[in-house]
């Protein structure tokens, strides 16, 4: 039973570029949440997708956008990259219904030069 998978594992971009990160949820899960984890910090919630719609959003600018596909997989897009966007981006999947356990992938390490 595959867990949450994310791609790519590492990515290097320059300021101003855009990036797309991908996530496949754990088998049977229908809800995907994205988190940003800066070095030495806890993950910060970006947004959550369910039924192909953004259901909740954290305190992140509109440069951060996402999408969920009919097979429940998801993408995170970041435009106009800034140096401060360098972080580990984590995807977590869960079942819909409020307080369901969230299971994380190993993340995509994004470095902005």
The answer to whether 6 and 76 have CB atoms below 8 angstroms apart is no
Q: Where are the alpha helices (DSSP H) in the chain?
A: none
Q: How many residues bind another protein, per CB under 8 A?
A: 27
Contact map string, positions 51 to 80, toward another protein, x by CB under 8 A = -----x-x----------------------
Strand partners, 45: 35
Can residue 7 be called a binding residue for another protein (CB under 8 A)?
Answer: no
CA dihedral of residues 91, 97, 101, 102 (deg, nearest 10): 0
Asked whether position 23 contacts another protein by CB under 8 A, the answer is no
Residues in contact with another protein by the rule CB under 8 A? 4, 6, 31, 33, 35, 40-45, 48, 56, 58, 90, 92, 94, 98-107
């Amino acid at each position: 039973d595959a867990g949450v998978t994310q791609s790519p594992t590492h990515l290097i971009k320059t300021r101003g570029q855009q990036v797309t990160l991908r996530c496949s949820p754990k088998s049977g899960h229908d809800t995907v949440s994205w988190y940003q984890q800066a070095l030495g910090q806890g993950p910060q919630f970006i947004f959550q997708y369910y039924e192909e719609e953004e259901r909740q959003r954290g305190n992140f600018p509109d440069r951060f956008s996402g999408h969920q596909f009919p097979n429940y997989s998801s993408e995170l897009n970041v435009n106009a990259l800034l140096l401060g966007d360098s972080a580990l981006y984590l995807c977590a999947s869960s079942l819909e219904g409020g307080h369901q356990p969230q299971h994380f992938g190993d993340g995509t390490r994004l470095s902005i030069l």
